[in-house]
Structure 1
């Protein structure tokens, strides 16, 4: 074991902190496949009507601009397809974004937002300077944590 540190920013429902240690190991060579992995977009956001409307509006705006450019010009089909594909991919990248983690499919967008809020409350606990601030932040974190747990159980019940 070479080094050990504590990580205070972990989002777990506990007063304990994570430990990170550096160790020296001898590793075996890992053989990988030589193909590229395509980037997946976060399509779960399309279940939310606001995100779906935002995606549809952005895509229709880009395709309308592309359609206006094509009027009166003779172009080959391959270049048209590349432009349409680029418009769709750029819109997916802007509105949906790439998948960061493999979330379970039953977790709703609202629950993910509550989890992010819980992480922010946990960060507030770690950055508090006085005991009164820490106690207040801890009470807020506890309340948000209860909301997250309730939301997760309702999502599971709806999924099943």
Structure 2
């Protein structure tokens, strides 16, 4: 099953790469080359976690990834601070020289996107708390009361079901596979196989035949094993196939 799916995955990926080309990544203008290299190293350490075969290797790789992630966040903050200071210097210079266009463009970059103001933190009687430390203490108090409630003295008496639920455990039918593929929406993030939804929709008849054959060959649904983990962004451009 795994070998056959690998062949299908490689065929779809190679076709998408040939027809659509790989998507170009545009990084922020203020991120330095050193930071990009650190990000690449961090991604490699993340891959090492997924490829670890023993628990010891996994724990070690996880620790290295956490440390690399901290370093990346630290240097990104430094890059952004440096960029903001440069923009502020440019805005001051434009204001002194009377260059209103450059002043407006620079101020717009500094302001960034509009975001809604945060909701105020209030105490138990409804008074607004303005001090940062008092707000933190209020959050601690709120969650302590929320999560440390006493168990109910009169728990609900829920009877067990008298009959088994009518759950179909037979291999999926051709119609079920067709409907499942049709329900995949275009533009959504691809899975770990990096197959975009558009490719699955355009090859629905082929996939329908493959999945029907393999599901009947390998038995019930819960016997089939897939390698899917977490969804990741597709590396192919969004284009009509």
- TM-score using structure 1 length: 0.38
- TM-score using structure 2 length: 0.25
